[in-house]
Structure 1
């Protein structure tokens, strides 16, 4: 499953808005290295585009600081988040408003086929067999949210991954939602699936990703990280907002 993202170097409306990757932030230093590597992959794919990184919390630069230092008057914010939820709906728009920035906030990265492509490749890297057995199944481990739309997004990603793998995939959560990863593993085992893998639906390593991987009875995939498909997905979300910008108004809305 491959998707090609064509180059888009200049907006028909004038100066090209910057692309700002918005990461959550983590106390795990590996997370910062991962999102920086992803930003570098995006720059490699679109060299003429101004690409920046900002965080919601825990790491620098924070999003308002990034927005204050942009070389362009406009920006598209692409959340490095995998579902809709409080951060996408409230935190990021409010931080942009406080910075008095002219922005559009793109949808989260999931659900999308490019996300599923990454999940599949990470499972194969972890030892998932190219020839699956009927006893195999997968738990899609995600952070979790009280927002019902977040759970809908994770469920849809699980369905797309199930279609890609040809085995059952149950979404499970590290916090704020059910089932938990151990509960999902027990449910699949009770159904006769004795080779249960955990697919890590996290952008980068951190407490939740590590916790979920440790609960795997068989194999656990690495987080999504700076996979090439993730870089293409970031640019796809950016381009979606550029199309919307061109078709709806001569200028970006002030967040």
Structure 2
């Protein structure tokens, strides 16, 4: 089966043998760096699995929007993998509802986090920002996330913080740019009050944008870059795709139970 993309190119919607296409579902952003980052990440995914058709759909703000991407697939099969780091409204409601309204036969994978591969990316980005190989006793990290009113989203972010703390051997406190507490400045102040003189901010965002920029500006020491196109992100997208094929798309429900 073939379909015409929004750019006018004709592309296959299913890989040889009828393997479902991978549709990466990004949130969308007014920051042009976000779209270019997501496109570069999909390029890495395609390089890892050249025979797999890989498509992009946004929830809002950017083209192609997810309904348009799914419409272009016709009645083909697809696995929707949220380019999102935790459970929340988009994962639980928006994406499943958009999938159900499409002609395509779809399964919805779990969000990316929490997962050890995300910790690999966070760790590498901190090292690149100047984190020492042997962290001093007075160091600590604020894990800066977008935030959500959904308590399960905060649970997922807290689990990532715990995994990163185990990796670094220092305290890691989750904090949020919106909709949840503490904020990044509040978390920084709390750590400093506990005697941590070197507090880094780990950017737990998939791409550059306003929230990532604001959180990085609150760092009193170093701030890492967003997860972006790190190799672990491409591998994790494919892992969630494969997982959804095995579980029938029930991975989102299983996030509350166990890693990975």
TM-score (norm 1): 0.90
Q: 1:214 aligns with which of 217, 236, 260?
A: 217
Retained in 2: the 8 A contact 1:172–1:180? yes
Retained in 1: the 8 A contact 2:26–2:59? yes
CA distance in 1, matches of 2:146, 2:236: 20
CA distance in 2, matches of 1:223, 1:102: 33
Counterpart of 1:101 in structure 2 is: 104
CA distance in 1, matches of 2:220, 2:75: 49
Counterpart of 2:89 in structure 1 is: 86
Counterpart of 2:157 in structure 1 is: 154
CA distance in 1, matches of 2:182, 2:31: 25
Q: Which ranges of structure 2 fall in alignment gaps of 5 or more residues? A: 1-13, 250-260
Q: 2:57 aligns with which of 46, 54, 57?
A: 54
Retained in 2: the 8 A contact 1:18–1:72? no
RMSD (Å), alpha carbons:
1.7
Change (3 A) 1:31 1:46: same
Secondary structure in 2 aligned to 1:108?
Answer: coil
Counterpart of 1:252 in structure 2 is: none
Deviations 1:179-212 (A, max 9, x none): 1101100110011100000000000011111110
CA distance in 2, matches of 1:20, 1:57: 15
Question: Structure 1 residues 92-101 or 28-37, which shifts more?
Answer: 92-101
Q: Map of 1:1-255 to 2, 5 A cutoff?
A: 15-70=18-73, 73-245=76-248
Using CA pairs below 8 Å that are at least 6 residues apart, which structure has the higher relative contact order?
Answer: 1
CA distance in 1, matches of 2:180, 2:248: 35
CA distance in 2, matches of 1:88, 1:243: 19
Retained in 1: the 8 A contact 2:57–2:64? yes
Retained in 1: the 8 A contact 2:142–2:201? yes
CA distance in 2, matches of 1:109, 1:152: 14
Retained in 2: the 8 A contact 1:17–1:72? no
Q: Which ranges of structure 1 fall in alignment gaps of 5 or more residues? A: 1-8, 247-255
CA distance in 2, matches of 1:244, 1:170: 32
Deviations 1:204-252 (A, max 9, x none): 0111111100111110000000100100000000000111239xxxxxx
Q: How many residues align?
A: 237
